[in-house]
Amino acid sequence: MAPRKQFQSSLTVTPELEALLREARGKVVSEDEFREQRISFAYGNAPPSDLITKESVRWAAQNYRLK
How many CA atoms are closer than 13 Å to the CA of 65, on its beta-carbon side?
A: 3
| Number of domain units in the chain | 1
Domain presence at residue 3: no
The domain of 67 spans 29-67
Cβ atoms within 10 Å of 24's Cβ, excluding its own: 8
For 23-67, the pLDDT digits (tens) are: 999 999 999 999 999 999 999 999 999 999 999 999 999 898 877
Domain presence at residue 38: yes
Q: Is the pLDDT of residue 7 over 90?
A: no
Band of pLDDT at residue 6, cut at 50, 70 and 90: low
Domain presence at residue 12: no
Domain presence at residue 7: no
DSSP 12: -
